[in-house]
Amino acid sequence: MFERVLSPGARSLGTEFVAYDKAERIVHLSFSPKPEFANILGFVQGGYVAAMLDEAAGMAARLSLPVTRAVPTLTFNVTFLSPCPVTSLVGEGRVVKLGRTTAVLEAKLLGPDGKVLAQMSVTSAVIDVTP
């Protein structure tokens, strides 16, 4: 199930599947940011943080849908709460609402100590990708 939703972009972030709760529509992923993701201060640059959050949110939605549906991001808002160290991080994605044409999603990025480092709210389209 997980391999069908792991994109090349997700692989580049060092994404690994941890768990999925189908009833709650929550996914947990681990990310292994590369040293070259660091900004001048030595923390993960914000664009990579946003990509990890977007991956977690999208993964929660994709795992809640048939393989013939996809959820391209329409808008997102990121709140950076603390610097993200270049170390193993945990992403938590959650479906807030899954409609016929749009999805509302949330994601959090947690540090090794469980502290929330960044969070994202997402609105995605729900589209048919049947060939």
Q: What are the boundaries of each domain within the chain?
A: 3-128
At 5, is the pLDDT very low, low, confident or very high (cuts 50, 70, 90)? low
pLDDT digits 0-9 by tens, 27-69 = 999 999 999 999 999 999 999 999 999 999 999 999 999 989 9
Q: What percent of the chain has pLDDT over 70?
A: 95
At residue 40, what is the residue type? I
In CATH terms, is domain 3-128 a member of 1.10.645.10? no
Cα dist from 116 to 16, 58, 61, 103, 119, whole Å: 19, 19, 21, 23, 7
Nearest alpha carbon to residue 59 among 86, 21, 32, 110 = 21
Cα dist from 7 to 16, 41, 83, 118, whole Å: 11, 29, 26, 22
pLDDT above 60 for 1: no
DSSP string, 39-64: -TTSBB-HHHHHHHHHHHHHHHHHHT
